[in-house]
Structure formats: C-alpha cells, structure tokens
C-alpha cells in the first residue's frame, strides 16, 4: 500500500493523476443519471469535464465544476464503468471538492446537516427527536481506562439519526452473546463527512480521533454500521496512521457469525433487496441476502437492476440538491413495485433516508435489513424517523417529541427553525 503523509496529500495525488489521464471525452457525464437533472444539461459534457480537470490541475473554480461535483450521487459508479480510460470520476470529485474548499468558496447551504460537530447536524437533531440521552445504551467516546471488549460497534453519523436501527443492532448482538461495546457517532466521526465538504485536514483529525477511541478498548474488531466508516478505517487511514484493529462491515460480521443469530420468529414475506452503492463497490452485496434468506419464511425477489448494477438512491444528491433528486429516489421504488414485493429491504441508512419518506406512496414497506433481522429474533423498535418524515407536519412532530427534545438540550423553538430544512431535504413536495 502506497504511503502518504496525510489525507490531503492522498487526494491531491488522486486528483492530479485523474486530471493527467482524463481525455475530457465526457463519456462519464453522458451516462450520469444526475447530469441531465442539473442546470448543466444543455452544456457539452466535454466542456464540463474540462472545467473539472482544469480545477484539479490548480485552475480556478468554475460554476460548472462546482455544480457537478456537488450534484454527484456520491458513488453510484456508473461513470467509472463508462470511462474508456478506466478512471474513477467520483474519487476525483472528492479532490475537486477539496480544491473548492481551499479556494474559499463555501459548500452548499445544507452542508451543516452532514457536519457531525454542528449543533444542527442530522444525527444530533433526529436523535434528539427520538430519545432522551438517559435512555441511550451506548457511549459517545471511550472513557479513561475502559474495560477491554472483543468487539467495538461504531454507529457512524446516520445510525443514531435513524435510531431504531442502531437499537435493533445492539439487541441482535445481545442475543448473539457478542462481547461488545457500542460507540455512537454523536461526538465521533470517521472523517468521511468532512470529506464531503472538502475539509481534508478536519477529516483526518476526525479519523484519527475515532481510531484512538476504538483502540482504547483493545478490540479484535471494529464493526461498522456504516460502510463509509469501514472503508475509512480499513482502506484509507492505514495509509498514514497505524490502525491496531481489524475493521469489519456489519453485514459481513453478522454473516461470519450467522450460526449465533437466534432466529425465533417466522416472517412469511416477499422481500426485495436494494443494493447500496457502497456495498456494491466493495463486492459484498451477497451478505444482506444471506442474512435475509436465513430468516424463516422470507422469499427474496430481485429488482431489475441489482447488485453491481443497482440504481442509486440519490442520497448524496438529495443532501445537496433535493430540488433535483426526486427522479433518482423514485426509480428504484418503481422497480421494487414491479417485483410485487411486500418489503423493500435497504442496506444503507442513506438509502433508508431516501426511500422511507416515500413509503406512503408505495404498496410495500421500506425497512432496513437490520430491522427484519431484529424482528426475526424477537425485537421490534418503532421507526420514528419514518413516521416523522412521512408526516412532515412540524407541529405534530414537535408535540410528539417534546420531552425528548428538551431532555436533549434543544428547544422547541430551535426545532421549529431547523426541521423545515430537513423536511425540504427528505420529503418531496414539502413546502410546494
């Protein structure tokens, strides 16, 4: 593995290498599902790619480069498959975002929603809606001289915002008899979020802080709820710092220990699986299927586009550009409806965030594969995130969550100010 001094040097190298090899043919943007939805649709893809490669070579920040890199789906990988030079435009876009940040140009206004330490970040706001801090069974960071644990389960940023899935995961591990401790992403972050808005120095600092907190428990494995956290600890951070534990993605860990999962409930349901982009890039899309097939009574059906060819949920686009993301979010749901499935099983909290707010329009449920596993072992936790975003009724949500809001150190007035921005992101047609 090539060594770099830091994350900034790594992405600088990746960006320059991409710019040197890219011929600006525009083949990537011609197949991009996002490109025709942007204000760039009438422009020649070749010209737009030239603007991006110019930026990567140290040129100025053009409006075209800014719009494209912040509209990107976030890794659906369709562009890479179309590139005649076998390059990865998405990876280069991360370098371009860093160049934009260093130029002083601000990220989109909703960037705060993916900033873990921001008071109004997604996981802080939505965890405050769903539980009181005193009810949470996980640590926000390692204490001094912690007791050793065989496994550290790390939630990442999104899982505590969709709290039911993290609670269900801990319940599954409890029933499996796993020796573990759980760390949330309330104060800790792997650094991927900071990469999204281009602050690579902060991204590395976050990653190093996370590694130190996990390592404090001297675990054999760190099991990551989020694939992005797994990739950071497994493939990125080891390039420049020691990572003294094995990193494992949650579905892989559960498959490796499937004989310890005590299935108790039969579930006679037809289930379709939506493959997250992140799992497909890792080539681990069979793991959720193995777990679901182990549930008594479950019958799996496939979407038209599945595994490495799965349609992206539009998650990253929906973060920055919810005004254009709706067609991306609806396309996989239409495929799920065509299968006749009773449940669409998501494999990523980002995908759950894209699809769950549209469930009321679908003839099936949208549920995480974790929720299905949890039900099969006798655990069911209400999905308050889904209920709230399907409602998108500000007064109703605040009234229902008032006790949790106040116990979490927020005010109802604060929530009245910030929630409409989240409803605009998650709930199509909100405010229209």
Distance CA 164, CA 159 (A): 8
Q: Give me the domains of the chain, ranges plus CATH numbers.
A: 7-106 (1.10.1060), 137-256 (3.40.50.1860), 264-388 (3.40.50.1860)
pLDDT digits (tens, 9 = 90+) for 256-291: 999 999 999 999 999 999 999 877 778 889 999 999
Q: What is the pLDDT of residues 19-67, one digit of tens each?
A: 999 999 999 999 999 999 999 999 999 999 999 999 999 999 999 999 9
User: pLDDT tens for residues 175-220?
Assistant: 999 999 999 988 999 999 999 889 999 999 999 999 999 999 999 9
In angstroms, the CA 157 to CA 141 distance is 13
What confidence tens digit (pLDDT) does each residue in 63-116 have? Answer: 999 999 999 987 788 999 999 999 999 889 999 999 999 999 999 999 999 998
The alpha carbon dihedral of 267, 273, 277, 280 has a sign of positive
Q: Cβ(213)–Cβ(142) under 8 Å?
A: yes
- pLDDT for 73 equals 86
Question: CA neighbours within 13 Å on the CB side: how many for 279?
Answer: 30
Beta-bridge partners for 344: 272, 366
Query: Dihedral sign, CA of 293, 375, 225, 99?
Result: positive
pLDDT digits (tens, 9 = 90+) for 351-393: 999 999 999 999 999 999 999 999 999 999 999 999 999 999 9
DSSP for 22-35 reads: -----HHHHH-SSG
Query: Does pLDDT of 2 surpass 60?
Result: no
What Rg do the C-alpha atoms of the chain give, in angstroms? 21
b/e map of 10-44 (b: 16 or more CB within 10 Å)?
Answer: bbbebbbebbeebebebbbbeebbbbebbebeebe
Whose tokens are 């709230």? That residue is 388
Tokens found for residue 247: 């990193």
pLDDT at 429: 73
pTM: 0.96
């Amino acid at each position: 593995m090539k060594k770099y001094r830091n994350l900034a040097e790594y992405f600088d190298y990746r960006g320059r290498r991409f710019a040197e090899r890219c011929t600006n043919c525009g083949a990537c943007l011609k197949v991009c599902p996002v490109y025709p939805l942007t204000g760039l649709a009438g422009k020649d893809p070749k010209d737009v790619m030239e603007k991006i490669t110019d930026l990567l070579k140290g040129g100025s920040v053009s409006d075209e480069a800014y719009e494209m890199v912040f509209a990107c789906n976030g890794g659906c990988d369709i562009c890479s498959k179309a590139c005649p030079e076998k390059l990865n435009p998405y990876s280069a876009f991360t370098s371009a975002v860093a160049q934009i940040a260093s130029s002083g140009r601000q990220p989109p206004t909703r960037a705060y929603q993916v900033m873990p330490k921001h008071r109004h970040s997604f996981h802080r706001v939505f965890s405050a809606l769903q539980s009181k801090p005193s009810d949470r069974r996980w640590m926000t960071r390692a204490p001094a001289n912690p007791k050793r644990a065989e496994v550290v389960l790390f939630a990442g940023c999104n899982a505590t915002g969709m709290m039911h899935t993290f609670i269900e995961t801990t319940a599954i591990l409890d029933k499996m008899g796993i020796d573990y401790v759980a760390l949330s992403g309330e104060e800790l972050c792997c650094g991927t979020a900071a990469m999204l808005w281009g602050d690579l120095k902060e991204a590395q600092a976050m990653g190093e802080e996370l590694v130190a907190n996990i390592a404090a428990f001297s675990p054999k494995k760190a099991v990551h709820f989020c694939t992005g956290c797994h990739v950071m600890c497994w493939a990125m951070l080891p390039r420049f710092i020691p990572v003294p534990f094995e990193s494992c993605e949650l579905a892989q860990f559960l498959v490796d220990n499937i004989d310890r999962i005590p299935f108790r409930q039969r579930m006679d349901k037809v289930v379709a699986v939506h493959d997250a982009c992140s799992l497909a890039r890792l080539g681990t899309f069979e793991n959720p299927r193995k777990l679901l097939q182990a549930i008594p009574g479950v019958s799996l059906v496939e979407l038209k586009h599945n595994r490495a060819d799965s349609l992206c949920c539009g998650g990253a686009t929906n973060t920055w550009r919810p005004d254009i993301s709706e067609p991306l979010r609806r396309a996989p749901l239409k495929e799920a409806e065509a299968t006749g499935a009773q449940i669409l099983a998501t494999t990523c909290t980002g995908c759950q965030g894209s699809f769950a707010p549209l469930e009321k329009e679908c003839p099936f449920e949208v549920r995480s594969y974790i929720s299905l596993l949890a039900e099969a072992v006798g655990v069911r936790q209400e999905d308050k995130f889904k209920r709230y975003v399907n409602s998108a009724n500000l007064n109703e949500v605040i009234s229902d969550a008032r006790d949790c809001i106040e116990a979490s150190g927020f005010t109802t007035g604060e929530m009245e100010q910030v929630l409409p921005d989240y409803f605009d992101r998650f709930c199509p047609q909100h405010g229209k």
